[in-house]
Amino acid sequence: MLSTLEPTEVTTATMIRVDRDSSEWLLVSNDFTNRWKKSNITNLCVEDIVRIKCPARLEEAYTNYKSSLQRKAAIQTLSQANVTSAVLSTMPVSAPLPIGDFELETELYHGTSACISQAVFEGRHLQSSCASAPPHPSLMSSTDDQNANDDLNGDDDSSFVLREEDFQIHNASDSEDLQQQQQQQQQDSHPENTPETIVEMCANAGCAACSIARENFDLKLSGKGSTDRKQAGIWQRFGHGIYFASMMRFKVALGKMYKTSADLNNYASPPKGFDSVAAIPGTHRSMNYHEYVVYTANACLPTYLITYSFTATSEYNISAV
């Protein structure tokens, strides 16, 4: 499963196991556990962290998409201020951003399954062949158990919903600070010429994590669920998109968010004038947690795969990625 290799030029996805004793592990682990706390969960423990280096084409697509959002937002802001079109055409990408429901880049989590983490739980009770577990009923709302976090590579999404009180969105400045700290600590933890532990990605087409790392999401498979599900499709509250609520970590360019608590299950793109949907729980609605939806794979870039365990009830221990 593991091999020790010198880092090389990335032409495909590379997955590198993070040293448990490194500062990088501490930062990522703390970020994960601090942003996901539930009153009915004990013994939450990060078991494994794998850093994902995506192919250059995916990184370039994400960077270009984020730049387009920034420029579009700057133009909209200046247009509202009655700036002339001649001035607008010369504005740089770094022009001022609007204040309000706009998020250029944040860190969000998407639940998925993975074969590569199976060795981490050797000797433990596993719920499936991909070392992941289905959500315990106490963690899911009755009407959202099919669409909470859609795995768009056709595999079963086995993560857990992050409710409003459990989740704090990171703004762009927070993400930049975390990235700078991680870059410095990666250098400190891995001196020059020190080989890193490369995780060999599996060839299993049903392994969502490895498929996402190599190719990003495939929107054609949105809402189809896994091959072992009885349903022909999965109902999606906000339509044909990529859902982020909770344990594969991504950079996500949300752009201008359309905030709603209404169902938009027929949507295949965000409402006109918006780049994403931010779902707000309401007392009159069946949904009781925040959720963020983008409608293009270029809006997100995987950065880490986190394997974790916790105790939900006294009946059994859950392990998942």
Q: According to the model, what pLDDT value does residue 22 have?
A: 93
Q: What pLDDT, on a 0 to 100 scale, did the predictor assign at position 298?
A: 92
pLDDT at residue number 65: 95
Domain assignment present for 120: yes
Strand stretches in the chain, DSSP E: 2-5, 14-17, 42-53, 102-103, 106-110, 196-199, 242-244, 248-252, 255-260, 276-279, 291-294, 300-311, 317-320
- 221 inside domain: yes
pLDDT of residue 134: 29
Instruction: Kindly report the pTM of this predicted structure.
Output: 0.58
Q: Which residue bears the tokens 């004038």?
A: 273
Three-class SS of residue 6? coil
Q: Total domain count for the chain?
A: 1
Residue 301: domain span: 2-81+95-320
Which run of H or of E encompasses 182?
helix 172-189
**Using alpha carbons only, what angle is made at residue 78 by residues 76 and 83, rounded to the nearest 5 degrees?**
130
Q: With respect to residue 86, please indicate whether it lies within any of the assigned structural domains.
A: no
Within a domain: residue 189? yes
Would you say 67 and 92 are in contact if contact means Cβ atoms under 8 Å apart?
Answer: no
> What pLDDT, on the 0 to 100 scale, is given for residue 261?
77
The pLDDT, as a whole number, for residue 103 is 86
Quick check: is 148 in a domain?
yes
| pLDDT reported for residue 317 | 43
Instruction: Give a yes or no: residue 158 inside a domain.
Output: yes
CATH number reported for the structural domain that contains residue 138 in this entry: 3.90.228.10
Cα 32 to chain centroid distance, Å, stands at 12
pLDDT at 79: 66
Q: What is the pLDDT of residue 227?
A: 43
Answer whether residue 89 is part of any domain: no
**What are the 10-residue block averages of pLDDT along the chain, 321 residues in total?**
40 84 93 72 80 91 93 75 54 43 84 49 29 28 32 30 31 49 55 58 64 71 47 54 63 89 81 86 63 88 84 49 50
Burial 204-221 (b: 16+ CB within 10 A, else e): eebbbbbbbbbbbbeeeb
Structural domain includes residue 87: no
